[in-house]
Each structure stands twice: as structure tokens, then as C-alpha cells.
Amino acid sequence: MTQAALLGIIITVTASLIVLGSLAIFVGLWRPKRSTPNVSFGTSEQDVVFIFRDHELIDCSDPARALLKSLSPADVDSAENGNLAVLLEYLSARFENVQEKLGGLAQSGGWEIASHAGDGFILSASFHKGLTQLRLTNQSDAGALLAIDRLSHNALQTELTTLRSVLRNLPTLVWQNDGRGHITWANAAYIQNLQGVEGTERALAWPLPDLFAQCDSMTEGRLAYEKDGKTHWFSHSQTTDGEIVTHFATPIDATVQSEAARRESIQTVTRTFASLPIGLALFDADRQLQVFNPALVDLTGLEPLFLSARPSFEQLLYAMREKRMLPEPKNFNSWRSDIVAMEKAAENGEYSEEWCLEGDRTYLVTGRPQPNGAIALFIQDVTTETTLVRSFRAEIDLAHKALDRIGQGVIIFGFSGQAMLANAEYVKMWQTDPCADLADKGLPQALGQWSNACEATQFWGRLAEFITTQTDQDKMTGTITLRTGGNVLVTGRRLTGGDIMITFQSEAVAAPRDRRELDLHSELFRRPDKSSPLDEGPPADALSRPPLVPRKQRTARHTGSRVRA
């Protein structure tokens, strides 16, 4: 190929390319431009710009990165590479219907909305070739650049970190509402309590649901919500700053439980007081009646309306006096001083007295001091007990009188060996009253006294063995001789319960009765038998028979004892 032909080809190709380029330029200039939304973006260096592909963050400005760090300081990388949820939570709290508008961004191409809080922030969004750009600008004067030194900036960052840490770990629930009642901010404790509560499944979607929306508590200053069948209680307070209302809720479950337990205890005590047969009147430090039970009404006959009016201590006693429920004083002039003395004695816990009233009624009235200067007055009807005690005393006195008249010395020892009872004959015989002697040592001392007052004998040792040894033998008898002369019949008997009764009977008293019995028997033997035929005279041998001599009385002797002539 010649050079001329090659040159012609080059020129032809070059001319063709020039023509095609000219046509392309012409077509491009002639085609009408596609309309784009009229979106205005600021050029401030403080603008916060995010670029997303679908839900993945692919780029952002430095202020945007700082914003993400403040929203999720624990894990910045995951916040940057995660979905759009973290940023949307922040934006939804300040801009209306952000999520709905982002859903239609591909069709609209772009939009911008202003913050409903009126703080000058504007959120702009645009969509181009599958990329979504979000730009957050501040068009107010407060959004202008501020020149501060590094030390001041570090101090602000340190304080901000401290405040965030405190709010994050604060057990108190803190949240803010805007002018429309929407929750625009909440701390970690509030969000944690939202989890698991019925009706708050979208707890992380802004605006947050109201945790206490279903609270029907009528208690002022308290809030409650149900979770897992359990009611959680909080003390509530709030502060207002313009349209922003900040709420504080402190958990008080333990306090509510203790209050419920205290109320239950008070109800139990109240029911117990209502069922007590003892009348109760509780007076405060000013001596005004504060508490009374139904038994007080029954025992005193006072009207419940009068007692409900909280009368004073003196008024209560005057009302009882009018009802004749007080013992009549001997001197009415000293009535006032008696009331004061009774009140003072009750304060010291020393007042306890039996009131003998009309109709043979007896009341036991006791005063007891209470905390904080209060006093409690107890009124108990002891008529039955008093009557029973009097009956027992009468029976005991009658038994003592009977024992004193039997003519034998009687002493009873308890199971422990202590003297329980001794009659007057015993006291006269042995010149001692063990029941009245507080220093008496019981059976050992009595055995010593008996032994010292008698002639030497082994009977006392066997009696002591009989008393201290449990055998089938329930009675032991013996005769001892007093040093002053005379024999004494001693009998020991076991009583029910392990008690021992010992009786002493002087034989000088029993002997005349025995002689009379012998004389009577002798006379009966000498009398003629009326059923036999009459004899004309006594037999011949009877005339020579010596006269009958009374037989000598037999005396029971105990080994080792002597009977004086």
C-alpha cells in the first residue's frame, strides 16, 4: 500500500470521528434536561451528611460520625456498618414521619423537612443511582461555628461523658415529653423496663410508648405497670421547661410491700382487739382517747359516739362515774386529786386496782405506759374469778377450821418435802408452825424436831424411809414417847399426788375412852340373863370366889420405845 493511500484512509477516519463527535454534542445540547427537585442544601462545615446504599452506611462526614458515636458509644463500628435503625431512632424523635418519607424517596427524588421542636434543624434527603443521602443542617444562629480552645472542648466532652454514664446507670426512670405528649428522650432504665411489657413490642421505635399509659393508680405521686403478672410501683415527680416535661420515676416496690404488710398487721391487731374480752382505751400524750375496742363499750356502758369523739382521760372517768362504773369515793372533794394520781400511776406502770361495783361486779383496771408518752387503760371483768377465789378461800378456811377441831395434830408435806399444811393442834403440840416460817426446811427439819422432843427410838428412821421410798405400803403407824411424858400415836399416810399426811394423837386422851368401854363391857357381862330361869341363890362356889379385878389394859409397844408407868 502506498503512502498516499494510507494517508487518505487516516484522513477519512478522522473526518468521520469529527462528524460523530459533533453529532453527539449537538444531540446532547438539544435533549431537554430531566427536572430535579428543588432541594436547597447548606454548605456549612457543620452539616451532618450520611450516604446509604439500601440500609448500609457507606460514607459519612466527620460531624455525622461524631453523631453516630454519641448515639451508640459502646460500639461505634457496629453502628456505622449496621442498618438505618440507630439513626432513624434519633431522627424520628425530632422529625415527623421520617420513615414513611424515606420509603417514598425513590419516587420523589428528594425532600426536606424542618424539626417540629423549633430548634432550627432541617433534614434533607436525596436519592441518586441507588444511593440515599441524608443531610442534617442547622440554619439558626445557634448553629454557627464557635471557636473554643482545646481545653474547654475536652472539659465539655468529659462532662458530657460523665452525664451520659450517670443517666445510663441510673436506676431511676427518666423520660421527656414534648408539647404533644410524645416521648422524645428516655434513659436506659426506662427502655429496659419497656421490654416485656404488654403493648410495648415496638419499644425501640420513636416516639417510645408510654410505659405507664395503662396506670389506673389513684395514689398521688405514684405510678405502676403490670409485667409478668406482677405490679411494679414507682414514686413519680416531674419538672417543666417550656413545652418539655421531664419525668422521674423511682422504684418503690419494697416500700409498697412494707406498707401492705403494715396495713395487714394493723388489720390483724384491730381484729384481735375487737375480739378481746378486755376493754382497751389508748390515750395519746395529750390524754385524748385514740383507740378503743368494742369490749370497752360492753364493760363501761358508754356510747360509741361518745368514745369516737375522742374524750380526754378525765372526761372518760367522769362519764364512767355517771354510769356508776367507778367505785364511789369516800371523799368527793378529793376526786380530782384521785384522777391525777391515777393518771400518774398509769404513766409509771404502777396502777393496778380492783374496782368493786354495784351488783357484786368486780373489774380489774390496769394502767400501762406506752411509747411517746401515751398510756393504755385495760378494764377486765374478773367477777367470776373473784367469786371463785372467794369460794375457794371459804372452803379452805372451813377445811382449816375442821382440821383445827379434830383433836389430832395434822401436818401435810408435798412431794418435794415442803410443809403444805399444819393445823392448830400440831402447832400446839410441837410449838412450831412450819407453814408460817419462811426459813422452814421442810420434812428433814420436822423429823429433827420430832426426834429431839421424844425418847430415843428407831421409828423416825423407818418413817423417813417410808416417806422417801415408793412402795405399795400406804400407811405406817407407831407409838412414840415424849420426853415430857405421855405417848403419842403417829400415823403416816400417802395421799394422791405423792403428798404425805402425818397425824399425831396423844394416848392420854384415848385411854379414858378405852376404860369407859371396858367398864361398860364388864357391866354387861355382870347383868343376869333374863331368858334363863331364876335361881334362888348364888351357887355355893360363887360365895367363895374372889371379886373380879379389872383386866390390865394392853398397850401396843413399838420396838425401842418405852411406856412410862
pLDDT tens-digit series, residues 105-157 = 888 888 888 887 777 788 889 988 888 898 888 776 554 555 566 777 778 88
- DSSP codes, 158-200: HHHHHHHHHHHH-SSEEEEE-TTS-EEEE-HHHHHHHTT-TT-
Q: Are residues 182 and 97 in the same domain?
A: no
Residue 502: the pLDDT is 93
Instruction: Give mean pLDDT, residues 325-329.
Output: 79
Contact 234, 252 (CB under 8 A): yes
Q: Are residues 88 and 180 in the same domain?
A: no
Q: Are residues 372 and 430 in the same domain?
A: no
Q: Provide the 3-class DSSP secondary structure of residue 334.
A: helix
Q: Are residues 377 and 409 in the same domain?
A: no
Q: Which residue type does 242 have? A: G
Domain ends where: 464, 480, 510?
510
Q: Are residues 304 and 354 in the same domain?
A: yes
Please check the confidence at residue 278 and state whether its pLDDT lies above 80: yes
Asked, for residue 78, whether it belongs to a domain, the answer is: yes
Contact 212, 227 (CB under 8 A): no
Q: Are residues 485 and 447 in the same domain?
A: yes
Please check the confidence at residue 562 and state whether its pLDDT lies above 70: no
pLDDT interval class at 360 (50, 70, 90): confident
Question: Kindly report the CA angle at 402 between 401 and 405, in degrees rounded to 5?
Answer: 90
Asked, for residue 185, whether it belongs to a domain, the answer is: yes
Give the whole-angstrom CA distance, residue 23 versus residue 12: 17
Domains of the chain: total: 4
Asked, for residue 211, whether it belongs to a domain, the answer is: yes
Asked, for residue 476, whether it belongs to a domain, the answer is: yes
Asked, for residue 207, whether it belongs to a domain, the answer is: yes
Give the whole-angstrom CA distance, residue 239 versus residue 247: 7
Residue 410: the pLDDT is 93
Closest C-alpha to 446, from 436, 459, 433, 455: 433
Closest C-alpha to 234, from 176, 189, 198: 189
Closest C-alpha to 407, from 426, 391, 388: 426
Give the whole-angstrom CA distance, residue 207 versus residue 20: 59
Please check the confidence at residue 527 and state whether its pLDDT lies above 80: no
Contacts of 127 (CB under 8 A, 6+ apart): 105, 106, 108, 109, 110, 133
Asked, for residue 131, whether it belongs to a domain, the answer is: yes
Give the tens place of pLDDT for each residue, 287-311.
899 989 999 999 999 999 999 999 9
Q: Are residues 443 and 421 in the same domain?
A: yes
Domain ends where: 256, 284, 318?
256
Domain of residue 502, CATH code: 3.30.450.20
Q: Are residues 210 and 250 in the same domain?
A: yes
Q: Are residues 404 and 479 in the same domain?
A: yes
Long-range CB contacts (< 8 A, 24+ apart) of 4-10? none
The DSSP bridge pattern shows strands 173-177 and 131-138 to be: unpaired
Give the tens place of pLDDT for each residue, 482-508.
988 889 999 999 998 889 999 999 875
Please check the confidence at residue 174 and state whether its pLDDT lies above 90: yes
Give the whole-angstrom CA distance, residue 195 versus residue 227: 9
Instruction: Work out the burial of residue 316: count CB atoms within 10 Å of its CB; fewer than 13 is exposed, 13-18 middle, 19 or more buried.
Output: buried
Domain of residue 243, CATH code: 3.30.450
Give the whole-angstrom CA distance, residue 210 versus residue 386: 70
Instruction: Give mean pLDDT, residues 312-331.
Output: 83
Q: Are residues 459 and 377 in the same domain?
A: no
Asked, for residue 548, whether it belongs to a domain, the answer is: no
Strand partners, 490: 478, 504
Q: Are residues 412 and 308 in the same domain?
A: no
Question: Kindly report the CA angle at 231 between 185 and 182, in degrees rounded to 5?
Answer: 20
Domain ends where: 322, 356, 381?
381
Give the whole-angstrom CA distance, residue 10 versus residue 7: 5
Residue 205: the pLDDT is 67
Rg, Å, the chain Cα set: 58
Please check the confidence at residue 24 and state whether its pLDDT lies above 80: no
Q: Are residues 194 and 125 in the same domain?
A: no
Q: Which residue type does 355 have? A: W
The DSSP bridge pattern shows strands 121-128 and 56-60 to be: unpaired
Domain of residue 444: give its range. 393-510
Instruction: Work out the burial of residue 423: count CB atoms within 10 Å of its CB; fewer than 13 is exposed, 13-18 middle, 19 or more buried.
Output: buried
Q: Which residue type does 380 have? A: Q
Closest C-alpha to 299, from 327, 272, 280, 313: 280
What's the per-residue H, E or C state across 353-406? EEEEECCCEEEEEEEEECHHHCEEEEEEECHHHHHHHHHHHHHHHHHHHHHHCC
Asked, for residue 186, whether it belongs to a domain, the answer is: yes
The DSSP bridge pattern shows strands 289-292 and 222-227 to be: unpaired
Per 3-state DSSP, the chain is made up of helix, strand and coil in percentages (nearest 5) of 40, 25, 35
Residue 294: the pLDDT is 92
pLDDT interval class at 549 (50, 70, 90): very low
Q: Which residue type does 132 have? A: T
